[in-house]
Structure 1
Amino acid sequence: MELEALTGRVLSAAFRVHSVMGPGLLESVYEAALTHELRKAGLRVATQVEVPAMFDGIRLDVAFRADMIVETLVILELKSVEALAPVHSKQLLNYLKLSGLRVGLLLNFNTVSLKDQIVRLVN
């Protein structure tokens, strides 16, 4: 599946979750609802995926976890915070680099308008 089409489907599902659930819930609630919505749409979703870190040729057991990976192509980093901070984008960019994936979406559900709290990053 083309990345643009896939990210479009992911965002459609995220908008649906946000419109039904609204802002102010825990990140884990949005993760469960979005996982359900994406799987209902026929997409493969892995949650809380360990992203290994390497240093000097060894694997470091530091347990970075990506919130979701859709179709083994797109990392989703979900937040439910007052406002996105620069560190949130840096976190997603690091996950992209460590995983070797190209595209990631940072979504903050704790907002009146989800469309204003979406960051798309490309590695």
Structure 2
Amino acid sequence: MKEFLFKNETYRIIGICMEVHRVLGHGFSEIVYKDAIETEAISKGIIVEREKEYVVYYKEKPLRHKFYADFIMFGNIIIEVKAAEDGIADEHVSQTLNYMKVSGCRIGLIVNFSKASLEYKRLIL
């Protein structure tokens, strides 16, 4: 059986997102959910980095394009917040995998708030 990396941390983050969804419901823009997630996580004593910038290197030279992960929690889990009517799409998965590769984070969570029930996907590198 495979090890469940950062199991407790992942459950805590999903719990925070569920609470935000329970209180706000669906229909807001991403920024509202991001603000609420940040507030909820901080109130629970979780270390949060928001809009964390990552530089991509090519042959040891930095490229102009940078990645900005919505959140890094616990120092090693990327959280991407979506309000996508069509749900979590392949492009959201690709985006999060790129962030994971450039950051070195092995776990990523994509959380979509635009449905009646919270939708999330856990990614592992």
TM-score of the pair, normalised by structure 2: 0.93
Aligned residues: 120
Q: How does 1:80-119 map to 2 (within 5 A)?
A: 80-83=83-86, 84-114=88-118, 117-119=119-121
**Structure 2 letter corresponding to 1:86:** D
Provide the secondary structure at the position in 2 that maps to 1:82.
coil
- Percent identical pairs in the alignment equals 35
How far residue 63 of structure 1 moved from its aligned partner, in angstroms, is: 2.4
Could you tell me how far apart the structure 2 residues matched to 1:108 and 1:64 are? 20
Number of the residue aligned with 2:42: 39
Partner of 2:122: 120
Q: Which structure has the highest helix share of the two?
A: 1
Q: Note the C-alpha offset of 1:56.
A: 1.8
Superposed CA deviations along residues 45-104 of structure 1, whole A, max 9, x for unmatched, are: 010000111112111131210000001110000000112210100110111011011001
Please state whether the residue corresponding to 1:8 is helix, strand or coil.
helix
> Which 5+ residue runs of structure 1 have no aligned equivalent?
none
2:9 pairs with 6, 11, 16, which one?
6
TM-score (norm 1): 0.94
Off by >4 Å, runs of 4+ in structure 1? none
Equivalents in 2 of 1:10, 1:61: separation in Å?
A: 31
AA aligned to 1:89 is V
Match of 2:20 in 1: 17
Q: Are residues 1:57 and 2:50 paired?
A: no
Q: Which amino acid aligns with 1:88?
A: H
Structure 2 counterpart SS, 1:23 = coil
